[in-house]
Structure 1
């Protein structure tokens, strides 16, 4: 009889322990909560505003992005629709890396955006080297 009572008591305590929520119990050090990864800022475009604006007055020199299909893929990777008109372009070097500057319409009518991308720019990897927004005169 004592054995049956002990078994019933064990079953009752076990059931009660399983039904109750244990609450928050620390599982050890949680150092990942404090880790943050800061991305490096995009370097500044090594052109003055006037040099960017001068690109509007000459024929685009696309270099490695001369193929329209490749250029469209690059624009897609940058978040621009295929119909985006490139207003100017030329080769450039940013921090020792070769690239192509693409001048595109800005978010507002009075601005343009200059994006320096890697010559291998495509829809999956733009290789954005630098960018700037310039106000039109």
Structure 2
């Protein structure tokens, strides 16, 4: 009986998993210092965005900001950070530069680590200027 319930729960979770996945499927730049530009097409959370030159999600690059660490999305502060990021960046042109993270790699969890600017201003600086506190993992 327990096995059947556990199996049902796991299968149910797998069925809804795609609903929670972000749509960004583009190839990630591999070298530090790579510059890429495009429109901010999707907001992942308070320190994650997807940038793409076209409306095709298969070309969108998922970015983890190198210079800002937002609270986790499961917290109230994290949800507020995502809302601020949406107001600051969604639909705007972004210019990003890949950076090595703490591990020395330019990727983390299928995202490229980068510093990004919109309207000539650092997204990290804009988030801090909007009063968003840092404190994620």
- The higher relative CO (CA closer than 8 Å, separation ≥ 6) is in 2
Shorter-chain TM-score bucket reads under 0.3
Q: TM-score, normalised by structure 1?
A: 0.28
Q: Which entry has the higher C-alpha Rg, 1 or 2?
A: 1
